[in-house]
Each structure stands twice: as C-alpha cells, then as structure tokens.
C-alpha cells in the first residue's frame, strides 16, 4: 500500500499543531503562575482577530523589566532559553516550538498600561489568551512589515476588514509610526476596506500640516 505524500503532510501538520498547542499551554500557564503581565502577539493573535493563518512559533509581549524573569520562569518549566538580543527579544524552546519573549517592538512600542487595559481575550484550543487590541495589532503590523515579512501587511488589512475599531485610539497609538499607518489605511481604502476618510485626513494633517 502506497501512502500519498499529501496524507503524510497532513499527519505531520496535525502532529505539529498538537505540539504547538501543548507548548503554548505550558508557556501561558508558566508565565501566568509567575504573575507577569503579557500579551500574545504574532500570527496566532492575527488569526484570532483577523485572518486564519498557520504559525509555527509563539510570541509573548512582556514589560522590559520583566523579560529576564519571564525567561527564567520558562527555563524553570523545562524550556531551553537564550538571551538573544538585549535590545528587544529573548527566546525559549521546547519540542521544536519557539517562544519569542519580546519586550520592545520596532518603533519603540512597549507593553504599557494602556495596551494592557485595551487588550482582548480569545479562545484557542480551550485556552483563554489575552491579545493586544485590534488597533494595537494594526499599528504593530504596519510598523514591522518588511519585504520578507509582507504577511504583516496583509494581517493588518484583514483586521481592518473584520474588527470594530476605535478609530481615535488607532490614530493616537499609531503616532509612533504615523506614515506607515497612513500608507496602510490609504491602501485599505483602495482595496474597498471601509476606512473613514476623516481618519486618513486627520493622520495626513498631523504628519504634513506643519
């Protein structure tokens, strides 16, 4: 009996998904027990508020002062860890799943009280996760996208198309990367995603009406 390559890939994918969900639960429960505030970022957060897409790693956003302690808590739970870059990211590994412990996002974005208070909860495999608000995710993705990570741009467009947004909050949080956000919103309008014109006008005036 010959097993089709597609069937093998399905089995491998199912195993990877099972491993991902298990490690995610261990990581979330570890940091929760340790008592440090954190939000889940990345592809998983995008898929829960925007468009479904598979991801192979886990992203936690933590406060800079907590980053080493979070890493130590994960190490105590059997993760292999490394202080990858003292400017913005550490990493932890278990069962071929990587956990990024992020404490500064490009553009100078940090987990602060307002982001925490605006965060939302979603369920994933019977696990309750706390994510940045759709607005904060849009800002982050508008700022961090590059040619090699164009998925961030399209993640942001999906969130724009699906979420009920607080546009004033989006503008205020987006000031850290106002030109990037403006470009994203203009593109979204061109793709028939409903972005209020006053939002684009407000951003434009803040950037260029000097």
DSSP E strands in the chain: the ranges are: 38-41, 57-62, 80-85, 89-94, 97-102, 120-124, 127-131
pLDDT, average across residues 68-90: 97
Q: Which of 172, 167, 158, 154 is nearest to 195 (CA)?
A: 167
Cα 157–chain centre separation:
14
CA distances in angstroms from 201 to 79, 127, 140, 153, 185, listed in the order given:
48, 40, 21, 21, 11
Residues 41-76 pLDDT 10s: 988 999 999 888 777 889 999 999 999 999 999 999
Is 141 or 55 the better-scoring residue by pLDDT?
141
Q: How far apart are CA 18 and CA 210, in angstroms?
A: 53
In this predicted structure, what is the pLDDT of residue 39?
98
In this predicted structure, what is the pLDDT of residue 107?
82
Mean of per-residue pLDDT scores for the chain: 90
Whether the per-residue pLDDT at 145 is higher than 90: the answer is: no
Question: pTM of this prediction?
Answer: 0.89
In this predicted structure, what is the pLDDT of residue 10?
39
Domain with CATH 3.30.460.40 in the chain: 1-132
CATH fold for domain 1-132: Beta Polymerase; domain 2 (3.30.460)
């Amino acid at each position: 009996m010959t097993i089709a390559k597609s069937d093998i890939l399905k089995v491998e994918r199912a195993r990877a998904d099972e491993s991902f969900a298990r490690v995610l639960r261990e990581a979330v429960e570890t940091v929760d027990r340790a008592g440090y505030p954190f939000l889940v970022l990345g592809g998983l957060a995008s898929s829960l508020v925007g468009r479904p897409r598979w991801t192979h790693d886990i992203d936690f956003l933590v406060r800079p002062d907590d980053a080493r302690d979070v890493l130590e808590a994960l190490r105590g739970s059997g993760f292999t860890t490394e202080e990858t870059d003292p400017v913005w990211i550490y990493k932890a590994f278990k069962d071929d799943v990587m956990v990024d412990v992020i404490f500064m996002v490009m553009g100078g974005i940090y987990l602060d009280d307002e982001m925490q208070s605006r965060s939302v909860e979603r369920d994933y495999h019977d696990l309750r996760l706390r994510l940045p608000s759709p607005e904060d995710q849009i800002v982050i993705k508008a700022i961090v996208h590059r040619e090699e990570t164009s998925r961030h741009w399209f993640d942001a467009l999906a969130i724009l198309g699906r979420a009920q947004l607080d546009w004033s909050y989006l503008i205020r949080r987006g000031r850290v990367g106002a030109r990037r956000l403006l470009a994203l919103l203009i593109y979204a309008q061109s793709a028939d995603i409903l972005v209020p014109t006053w939002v684009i006008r407000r951003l434009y005036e803040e950037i260029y009406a000097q």
